[in-house]
Amino acid sequence: MKRILSSVTDGKGFDIGLVVLPLGFLFVMSGLPLVYNVVMSFQEVDMFSLGSFARPFVGFRNYIDLFSQPETRPILFNTALFVVASIGGQFAIGFGLALFFWTNFPGASWLRGLFLVSWVMPGLVVGAIWNWILSGDFGVLNFLLRETGVIDGNIFWRSDPNYSLWAVIIANIWLGTSFNMILLSVGLSGISKDLYEAAELDGANALQRFWTITLPMMRSTIGAIIALGLIFTLQQFDLFAAITSGGPNNTSNVTQYWAWDLSFRQYDFAKGATISVIMIVFVMFASVVYVRSTRHEVRG
């Protein structure tokens, strides 16, 4: 008894206790739901069987039903478009800003940090603000586009099926750009200045220096940021809830919103779980890429 006690205060027991408790908590609160999700996707779950553990197994019927629904394919396509466009926009603008602030002038780091307010705001508030900016008749974005001659008539961002998904994408690009910029800045500051000086002596112009030094040196950072972007865009839910609610007619719906909508609006928990399983597999694949690309630093 005394040995156990002194091990807890002094030896390995102390460390093991510190790790086992939180990991146990995570296992119960994240691991078990994950398994339960898979189980539910093979069951028939409705409002009546919600409270009981014994539910009829239906094999792959939920999966078959899901893929025979007409809206599944467009929603999967929307998800892919949302992810690609959001990451592309966030990364391109973020990289541009990071390169600009890299030129290092007084006040640069403070101003750069200020951009991050978009990232710390509650997603629902960001959604509410963009909802108002993107409004069709009185939205300020339409006004600015009209005044600068980009468009002739108002775009009804939220209710026009051609634009509804882009309404959410625009808001999401705004939300995530600053985070991309900050991480890219960290990567940029890790490149040695000597390399640039040497290249400049050899007569390389700015574009060549960017192409042959900056991009190759940043490869692991860029890989990690793209993977993180994939994870974050697949987590984005609040903007959909605040701007379009997946409408009109599912044109702005994506899987992560649809899964919730099926469970909590249509009370089809089995199908909600089925989509979740499919998407979580995707996300985990992305996270393996992320973990691999940061692995040497994680072990560091």
Partner 1 sequence: MSEQFRNRLMLVVALVLAAIYLFPLYWMYITALKTGSAMFATPPKFLPSEPQWGIYADVWQSRNMGRYLWNSLVIAFGAVALISVLGVGCAYVLARYRNIWVDVGLFLILMLQVLPASLMITPIFVGFSQFGLLDTPRFAVILAIAAKSMPFFVVLVRATFMSVPMELEEAALVDGNSRIGAFFNIVLPLARNGILVSAILIFMQAFGEFVYSKSMIQDIELQPASVGLNSFMGPNTNEWNNIMAYATIYVTPILAVFILLQRRIVSGLTSGALK
Among residue numbers 128 through 147, which ones bind partner 1 (CB under 8 A)?
A: 128-133, 135, 137-138, 140, 143, 147
CB-nearer residue toward partner 1: 72 or 118: 118
**H-helix segments, 190-268:** 193-201, 206-209, 215-217, 219-235, 238-243, 255-264
Of 105, 85, 83, residue with least CA distance to 286: 83
Q: Minimum CB separation from partner 1 for residue 26, in Å? A: 6
- Cα–Cα distance for residue pair 137/153, rounded to 1 Å: 10
- CB of residue 122 to partner 1, shortest distance in Å: 2
* Contacts to partner 1 from residues 267-286, by CB under 8 A: 269, 272-273, 275-276, 279-280, 283-284, 286
Instruction: Tell me if 62 contacts partner 1 by CB under 8 A.
Output: no
DSSP string, 208-219: HHIIIIIHHHTH
Task: Report the residue from 56, 59, 70, 106 that binds partner 1 according to the rule CB under 8 A.
Answer: 106
User: No. of H helices and E strands in the chain?
Assistant: 17, 0
Q: How far is the CB of 32 from partner 1 (least distance, A)?
A: 7
Q: Which stretch binds partner 1 (CB under 8 A): 71-79, 200-208, 211-219, 257-265?
A: 257-265
CB of 202 to partner 1, least distance (A): 24
Q: Does 50 bind partner 1 (CB under 8 A)?
A: yes
- The answer to whether 231 contacts partner 1 (rule: CB under 8 A) is yes
Part of the chain binding partner 1 (CB under 8 A), chosen from 25-33, 74-82, 161-169, 208-216: 25-33
Minimum CB–partner distance for residue 237 and partner 1 (Å): 4
Which H/E stretch holds residue 177? helix 164-189
Q: Hey, which bits of the chain come out as E strands?
A: none
Choose one: 43-51, 58-66, 71-79, 160-168; the region binding partner 1 (CB under 8 A).
43-51
Q: Is 165 in the site for partner 1 (CB under 8 A)?
A: no
CA angle centred on 187, ends 300 and 79, rounded to 5°: 100
C-alpha distances in Å from residue 161, one per residue of 44, 129, 240, 251, 289: 33, 21, 14, 6, 34
Binder of partner 1 out of 92, 114, 150, 215 (CB under 8 A): 114
37 binds partner 1 (CB under 8 A): yes
Closest CA to 232 of 268, 178, 192: 178
Q: Which residues pair with 57 in a beta bridge?
A: 43
- Both tokens of residue 94? 């973020």
